[in-house]
Amino acid sequence: MVPPRQRIAQTVARLIVRCMVRCMLLSVALARCEMTAPNIAIYELLNQMLQASERGDLAQAEKLLKQALDADPENMEALRHAAGFYQIVKKDPARARQYAALCRVQASAVTAQMDEILGQSGKSTQPPAARHIGGIIGPY
């Protein structure tokens, strides 16, 4: 039988290792999401597209949107803006659905990656219910 202090020390050591692994995975994920010059250019194009759309210059707005999509056809923000632009502004639901479907694929990939980082692959995303154990209330 392991003494209680040793068991606590082992548990703490395991938790530290898990945290270190998760931090490493998170740093890799953040490195992938780094704001590179092409990403910044896409956000600038999307901002210009929104401004053109607000002033009623729909041809310019569409041109800027296409430039953003050409720069990165998998950029989730560009896909989301395209879906909204074609649904709301251009009244082209077929094209809007096309971009919405592509955006959903990217969102699913991001969700899977975040679930992996959070250690929730295949697990429920709801927090455990609080329980009362030995005078301590918390998720156990």
- The rounded distance, in Å, linking the Cα atoms of 67 and 59 is 12
Question: Per-residue pLDDT tens for 56-88?
Answer: 999 999 999 999 999 999 999 999 999 999 999
CA gap 92, 5 in Å, rounded: 66
| 131 neighbors 137 (Cβ within 8 angstroms) | yes
Domain spans in the chain, listed from the N-terminal domain onward: 58-119
Query: Per residue in 81-135, pLDDT tens?
Result: 999 999 999 999 999 999 999 999 998 988 888 888 888 765 555 555 555 555 5
115, 121 contact by CB (below 8 A) = yes
Beta bridge partners of 130: 139
